[in-house]
Amino acid sequence: MADRYNSMELMICLAARYLEDGSTVVVGTGAPCAAAMLAQKTCSPNLMVMFEAGGAGPILPSMPISVGDSRTFYKGLFAGSMAEIMDACQRGMVDYTFLGGAQIDPYGNINSTVIGEHARPKVRFPGSGGANDLASLCWRTMMITPQDAKRFVPKCDFVTSPGYLTGPGAREAAGLPPGTGPYKVITQLAVIGFDETTKRMKVEAMHPGVTREDVIKNTGFELLWADDVFVSAPPTEEELRILRDEVDPYRYIIGRG
């Protein structure tokens, strides 16, 4: 990979480009928030950024540490409640959300609860928080996540948040709102979408310098491949400048790349 940028910077830039102007997105802290801030300063000045604790439409002065800290409604349009943000998601007013987890399966189901037995887990993670709600109720769920065979597993130990569950029609059968579900998974290697028919992960793009073998080696299940897999467009100088100077000057997030 070129030395001009690191993998975290690349993932953030790619994610930002999916957030079109005039859309709504619920984000957490970290890379998703950086992507939303970058989008606001580049392609989508009118992106409505929302936080589950109640803040919405802030002019973020710096990266929030918590999705409930005061930066999340700094010069904001709205400072309300958890229920009000989640109501908006359930009502169908939120276009995008970003999630992550310890495990993700071919259908985009996510585990952020336990490894091992639930009653006495080998490892306990925080749990759903708002993730299950956002994955259930927002139109399109995105993920920015490191990709390796331990994280990309055939089956999650625990399905905390719904992807396409067991495949076509499963979300609707479970009672989840129609037309919702995972959209893109952005990793340090590739951009992965979901196949229309099978609802399984399908590689759409690989980043510059990445080979099919790299992607396969870092996935614990069989991936589908688009007919026309393309090379991700690397960050522009302008994107990198804004990301480094304005979005994350202390390198809290991009320092992890």
Partner 1 sequence: MKVMGQGEGRLFTDPDANRAREYFRGKSRALKSKLTTVSEAVAGLIRDGDYVAVGGFGTNRIPTALLHEIVRQRKKGLGLSGHTATHDFQILAAGGCINRCDVAYVVGLEARGLSRNSRRLFESGGLEVTEWTNAALAWRYRAAAMGVPFIPARTMLGTDTFRKSAAKEIECPYTGEKLVALPALYPDVALVHVHRADVYGNCQVDGIMVADQELTRAAKKVIVTCERLIPNDEIRKNPEKTAITYFTVDAVVEVPFGSYPGNMAGEYFSDEEHLREWLAAEENAEAFRAFLDKYIYGTKDFNEYLQLCGGLAKMQKLRALELLSVPKGGE
Q: Is 58 left (phi over 0), alpha (psi -120 to 50) or beta?
A: beta
Alpha-carbon distance of 240 to 47, in angstroms, equals 19
DSSP 54-72: SEES---SS--SSTTSGGG
Q: Are 254 and 244 in contact (CB under 8 A)?
A: yes
At 58, list the tokens: 């802030």
Question: Does 95 interact with partner 1 (rule: CB under 8 A)?
Answer: no
**CB of 97: closest distance to partner 1 in angstroms?**
12
Is-catalytic flag, 52? yes
**CB of 44: closest distance to partner 1 in angstroms?**
24
| Closest-CA residue to 25 (of 88, 75, 119) | 88
Question: Does 218 interact with partner 1 (rule: CB under 8 A)?
Answer: no
Kindly tell me which residue out of 4, 45, 77, 118 binds partner 1, with binding defined by CB under 8 A. Answer: 118
Each as own residue / partner, the long-range contacts of residues 224-227 (CB below 8 Å, 24 or more positions apart, any chain) are 224/195, 224/198, 224/200, 226/193, 226/202
**CB of 198: closest distance to partner 1 in angstroms?**
18
Which of the residues 9, 20, 52, 239 is marked catalytic?
Answer: 52
Kindly tell me which residue out of 113, 141, 218, 232 binds partner 1, with binding defined by CB under 8 A. Answer: 113
Question: Does 223 interact with partner 1 (rule: CB under 8 A)?
Answer: no
Question: Does 137 interact with partner 1 (rule: CB under 8 A)?
Answer: yes
Interacting residues with partner 1 (CB under 8 A): 28-30, 52-55, 61, 65-70, 72-73, 79-83, 86, 89-90, 109, 113, 118-133, 136-137, 158-162, 165, 170-171, 173-177, 252
Active site residues: 52
